[in-house]
Chain A
Amino acid sequence: MGVISKQTVQKLFLLGIVEKFQNGVYGAKRLQKVTYFIEKDYNKKPFTFKNWRYGQFSEELETTKEQLISMGYLVVIPLRAGDGNQYYVLEKIIDRLNKLLETTLSGIQSIIERVVDEIGYLPEKKLLKYAYQDPLFTATELGKDIFKENLPDGGIPVPNLSDEDCEEIELSLNSEFTSSLLLIKEGMDRGKLDLDKVQRIGQII
């Protein structure tokens, strides 16, 4: 049985939400609000949400979103000026993603589907009005946490995946790992890689 880290579960969760939107998510604010209402109905909380200037907001979600974009899992299309971005998940990872998400956060898929269906496509003004009237939000002071992330620090055990499979998922969704490989590749592309200058050895000493 393998284990998937908290950071990886956060990424799978966010991808799972974006994927449920038929034509991608229109705007970061929409993604924030929809994620908030999904977490509100679920016992495990992948992200901490606080009461912020524009309503329910998760800094961790923003960071995770940026990491997914940099790794190529989330695709961003800029909308007309002032309308923000549209976010997509690449088609080819969707099947695998859904299976993984259900294994790590059991029962979450049906909540995602319901919340996206109920509020995901509302016009932005209506969505924000709905979000600002949420009792849990109105009962929380500005700047304070509405709820805290509560995934286990040691990660989530995944009974039907081997250690090896979990390791691959971990590394593939590790943005530092991906960025470091891209940097090394860029160094090779742009650098002065004269192999004649490298000391040759028969084996590791």
Chain B
Amino acid sequence: MELAHQLLQKYPSVKKKLNKQIEKARADPFHAGKCMREISHPDLQGSVYRLWVGGPKGFRMIYFVYRKKSIVFGVYVSPAVRKKFDYNKFPWLQNAIEIYNDFIKGDLSKFRLVDPAVGI
């Protein structure tokens, strides 16, 4: 959510497109985005997808499908258009540790569930 808010603060006009893509991912997660088949780890194969927000020159959204509980989890929304950010500079682990700790504690106050209830 924080990433989405960062994006919308800077580019409010993207809101409609972002919501549309979230809706797409929520409704049909296995076809909405492109599956990242190059990921080699067996626990992640077929579970990570990426899609554009605002077309191929726009922003990037990555989501993870957690099959066990039918959850589509929005992992990432780029804070700038694709050409202007570097994946190697994003604090992936720092963010993941926070999410992990929240899940373990059961503190879900930072998360939002987009209705109908299949995604956080």
**A-to-B contact residues, CB < 8 Å:** 5, 7, 71-73, 90, 93, 96, 163-164, 167-174, 176-195, 197-205
Contact = CB atoms under 8 A, between A and B. Distances in A.
Nearest to B99: A184
Given A164-B56, A198-B113, A181 B96 contact: yes
Do most interface residues of chain A lie in helix, strand or loop, or is the interface mixed? helix
A172 B105 CA distance: 29
A180 B113 contact: no
A185 B93 contact: no
A178 B44 contact: yes
Interface string B19-57: 100110000000000101111111110011010000010
The CB with the most chain B CB atoms within 10 A, among A5, A7, A184, A202, is that of: A184
A200 B26 CA distance: 14
Contacts of A179: 92-93, 96
Given A185-B43, A188-B71, A176 B93 contact: yes
5 contacts: A72-B42, A171-B38, A172-B38, A190-B103, A201-B112
B15 A183 contact: no
B114 A90 contact: no
A72 B38 CA distance: 11
B115 A200 contact: yes
B57 to A, nearest CB: 10
B103 A191 contact: yes
Interface residues of B, number: 58
Nearest to A201: B112
A174 B38 CA distance: 11
Contacts of A169: 38
B11 interface: no
Interface string B76-90: 000000100011100
B22 A204 contact: yes
Nearest first, the 7 closest Cβ-Cβ pairs linking A and B are A191-B103, A192-B106, A180-B96, A187-B103, A172-B38, A187-B100, A180-B92
A185 B64 contact: yes
B80 to A, nearest CB: 14
Contacts of A191: 100, 102-106
Given A167-B82, A180-B92, A190-B103, 12 more contacts: A90-B40, A168-B37, A177-B87, A180-B75, A180-B93, A180-B96, A184-B103, A185-B66, A186-B100, A195-B117, A198-B111, A198-B120
